[in-house]
Amino acid sequence: GQQVMQIPQYQHVQEGEDFTTYCNSSTTLSNIQWYKQRPGGHPVFLIQLVKSGEVKKQKRLTFQFGEAKKNSSLHITATQTTDVGTYFCAGRAGTASKLTFGTGTRLQVTL
Amino acid sequence: KAGVTQTPRYLIKTRGQQVTLSCSPISGHRSVSWYQQTPGQGLQFLFEYFSETQRNKGNFPGRFSGRQFSNSRSEMNVSTLELGDSALYLCASSLSPSGAVDTQYFGPGTRLTVL
């Protein structure tokens, strides 16, 4: 079945450093979504990418969808302590397929 | 608009018992999905319902079942509980399970502990 892997599993950065998490699917995706889960909280939707090669920005966050629609990345510029949490990508192989979540990347930011 | 609500928030059961978890989606949302979250396994897909029909089912044993009612509220049931069923069960709703309205809005979850 469809598998979605994320690397790294965990990253610890100093505040102000940049951070990137990569998402790789075993199958082509119709779209890719990104979620953030704060410690003790539930996943919260960040963004959805649909087009091949699409790039979207939200303030310090930059999201990319690969040309082959099998991979994606989330880059955070100048991390802040408020960025702490686990970042998940999620995608469907087709409109009738289930939404498969990636394995997640836990980000820790210290001063 | 009220968010996704899940009841109960916490539950303690013993092995062999059964449990029913409830999820009320955001008003107007017709799609409800359930996920199991454990520290080692991440977010594992359980079921997806749309307009009372199960669209997709994850790779869980038959002890896990679910349904959706005409008002879009959903329940999931786990029978003959095992220790490994201890997890956070998350419900998510969306307007529709495809396209631009596929955004998942998660509830706070039900923390199930099996002793």
pLDDT in tens, A5-40: 999 999 999 999 999 999 999 999 999 999 999 999
Dihedral sign (CA A62, A27, A33, A104): negative
Q: What pLDDT, on a 0 to 100 scale, did the predictor assign at position B99?
A: 67
Q: Compute the C-alpha angle B108/B110/B111, nearest 5°.
A: 115
Neighbour count for residue B66 (Cβ, 10 Å)? 22
| Chain B interface mutation, best of A38, A89, A99, A101, highest count of B Cβ atoms under 10 Å | A99
Indicate whether A87 pLDDT > 90: yes
Question: Which pLDDT value is given to residue A94?
Answer: 83
Is the Cβ of B54 closer than 8 Å to some Cβ of chain A? no
**B23 touches B67 (CB < 8 A):** no
* CB pair distance less than 8 Å for A99 and B48: yes
pLDDT(A101) > 70: yes
Contact B35, B45 (CB under 8 A): yes
Q: Where are the beta strands (DSSP E) in chain A?
A: 4-7, 10-14, 19-25, 31-37, 44-49, 55-58, 61-65, 71-76, 85-92, 100-101, 105-110
Residues B11 and B68: their CA atoms lie apart, in Å, by 21
Q: What is the mean pLDDT of chain A?
A: 95
For CA atoms B114, B65, B94, B37, give the dihedral sign.
positive
Give φ, ψ of B25 to 5 degrees. Answer: -75, 170
Strands B53-57 and A31-37: unpaired
| pLDDT at position B104 over 90 | yes
Task: Indicate the pLDDT class of residue A104, thresholds 50, 70 and 90.
Answer: very high
Binning pLDDT at 50, 70 and 90, where does residue A69 land? very high
Percent of chain A whose predicted confidence (pLDDT) is above 90: 92
- Name the 3-class secondary structure at A82: helix
| pLDDT at B87 exceeding the cut of 90 | yes
The rounded distance, in Å, linking the Cα atoms of B29 and A99 is 16
Q: Which residue, among B37, B10, B47, B4, has the nearest Cα to B23 in the 3D structure? A: B4
pLDDT in tens, B32-79: 999 999 987 789 999 999 999 999 999 999 999 999 999 999 999 999
The DSSP secondary-structure symbol of A51 reads: S
Asked whether the predicted pLDDT for residue B1 surpasses 80, the reply is: no
- pLDDT for B100 equals 65
Q: For A48, which of B33, B103, B106 is closest by C-beta distance?
A: B103
- CB contacts, 8 Å: B105 with chain A: 45
